[in-house]
């Protein structure tokens, strides 16, 4: 019912919707309508009520409610089913559970806050309420487990495309899948795979993005979109654009990985740099020369030999 009320109010952006008209159209009493309006206000929507004129929505809440994200999304399968949580430990665990129970491809788990958000290599992911985008997406790709890193590439490329086009910023990818803005980290991706030797059952792609975090609340190596834009950024609009681009890039990848790799190279801030990659108790140093067709990073060592790394922590050297 509240979605329908919002729908009416949104369509009449400039003017008022009379309470009588609204309750008649929705088939509910004036009293019931008033109660729903109060609940919407508690959820963060600013709605004013003027005697003889009616209700007006003066500001939407920018909450990542399932119906807000789904409204006008226009995708075929990404985000067709969205599970929304005010707070939970980690979206990864809920998505994993849903995946094992057969949730369809494109199912999304979104949280406003995570109490045990996790990043790569067991690191914690700071997830304060209403500030960022924290989500996990279930995919069921028809590809070999060894190709799974390409899915993370789809997500990182899509995030950069959405941020750079929508907000005219210059987000870049630090290999393998950190999103950076300027010289600081803006977001990251975590992929968990449920697979057999020759087939993927499902993949959960976790995405954490700092959107409206104050500079003061972030560690010195991190940044947020609002810090760069000097204004609040609509999380709903940005998330919708990211989801649209994930769907488009994923559909292309199913046919051919080359266009995705081309985009990845363009957004990469690692390629062409001298790097030190720490992977499993050793490190490799050299120039990051290319990204391989399976998403691995090719490093030309000083000996002239090129080595490929599939996972690890990259340090960009001066």
Question: What residues make contact with ligand BTN under the rule CB under 6 A?
Answer: 90-92, 114, 117-120, 123, 125, 134-136, 178, 188-190, 206-208
57 vs 209, beta carbon nearer ligand BTN: 209
141 vs 176, beta carbon nearer ligand BTN: 176
117 vs 312, beta carbon nearer ligand BTN: 117
Quote the least distance from Cβ 291 to ligand BTN, whole Å. Answer: 18
Quote the least distance from Cβ 128 to ligand BTN, whole Å. Answer: 12
In 115-199, the DSSP E strands lie at 132-139, 171-174, 178-181, 184-195
Asked if residue 172 lies in contact with residue 159, where contact means CB atoms within 8 angstroms, the answer is no
Residue of closest CB approach to ligand BTN: 188
Quote the least distance from Cβ 310 to ligand BTN, whole Å. Answer: 16
Quote the least distance from Cβ 177 to ligand BTN, whole Å. Answer: 7
Half-sphere exposure of 65 (CA within 13 A, CB side): 14
Tokens 């740099």 — which residue?
Answer: 273
141 vs 206, beta carbon nearer ligand BTN: 206
Quote the least distance from Cβ 24 to ligand BTN, whole Å. Answer: 43
CB atoms within 10 A of CB 15: 9
174 vs 263, beta carbon nearer ligand BTN: 174
Length of the chain: 318
Quote the least distance from Cβ 133 to ligand BTN, whole Å. Answer: 8
17 vs 138, beta carbon nearer ligand BTN: 138
Quote the least distance from Cβ 283 to ligand BTN, whole Å. Answer: 19
Q: What is the rounded distance in angstroms from the CA atom of residue 47 to the CA atom of residue 16?
A: 10
Q: What is the rounded distance in angstroms from the CA atom of residue 107 to the CA atom of residue 226?
A: 28
The edge-to-edge listing of strands for the beta sheet with 297-300 is 306-309, 297-300, 282-291, 274-279, 313-316
- For the packed helices 235-255 and 149-167, what is the interaxial angle rounded to 10 degrees? 140
Percent of residues in the chain assigned helix, strand, coil, to nearest 5: 35, 30, 35
Quote the least distance from Cβ 93 to ligand BTN, whole Å. Answer: 8
57 vs 189, beta carbon nearer ligand BTN: 189
Asked if residue 192 lies in contact with residue 203, where contact means CB atoms within 8 angstroms, the answer is yes
In the chain, the DSSP E strands lie at 46-50, 54-59, 82-85, 108-111, 132-139, 171-174, 178-181, 184-195, 200-210, 274-279, 282-291, 297-300, 306-309, 313-316
**Distances in whole angstroms, Cα of residue 119 to Cα of each of 87, 134, 277:** 17, 11, 18
23 vs 191, beta carbon nearer ligand BTN: 191
């Amino acid at each position: 019912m509240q979605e329908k009320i919002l729908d009416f109010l949104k369509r009449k952006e400039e003017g008022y919707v009379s309470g009588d008209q609204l309750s008649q159209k929705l088939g509910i009493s004036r009293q019931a309508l008033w109660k729903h309006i109060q609940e919407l206000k508690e959820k963060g929507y600013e709605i004013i009520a003027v005697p003889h004129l009616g209700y007006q929505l003066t500001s939407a809440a920018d909450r990542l409610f399932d119906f807000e994200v789904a409204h006008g999304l226009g995708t075929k399968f990404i985000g067709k089913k969205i599970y929304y949580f005010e707070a939970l430990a980690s979206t990864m665990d809920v998505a994993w559970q849903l995946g094992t129970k057969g949730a369809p491809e494109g199912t999304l788990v979104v949280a406003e806050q995570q109490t045990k958000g996790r990043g790569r290599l067991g690191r914690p992911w700071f997830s304060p309420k209403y500030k960022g985008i924290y989500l996990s997406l279930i995919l069921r790709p028809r590809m070999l487990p060894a190709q799974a890193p390409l899915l993370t590439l789809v997500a990182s490329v899509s995030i950069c495309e959405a941020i750079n086009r929508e907000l005219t910023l210059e987000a870049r990818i630090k290999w393998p899948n950190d999103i950076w803005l300027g010289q600081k980290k803006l977001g990251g991706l975590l992929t968990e795979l449920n697979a057999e030797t020759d087939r993927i059952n499902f993949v959960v792609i976790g995405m954490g993005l700092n959107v409206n975090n104050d500079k003061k609340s972030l560690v010195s190596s991190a940044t947020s979109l609002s810090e760069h834009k000097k204004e609040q950024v609509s999380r709903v609009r940005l998330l919708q654009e990211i989801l649209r681009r994930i769907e488009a890039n994923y559909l292309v990848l199913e046919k051919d990985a080359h266009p995705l790799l081309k985009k990845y190279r363009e957004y990469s801030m690692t390629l062409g740099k001298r790097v030190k990659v720490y992977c499993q108790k050793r490190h490799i140093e050299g120039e990051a020369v290319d990204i391989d067709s399976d998403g691995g990073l090719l490093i030309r060592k000083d000996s002239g030999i090129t080595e490929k790394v599939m996972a690890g922590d990259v340090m960009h050297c001066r």
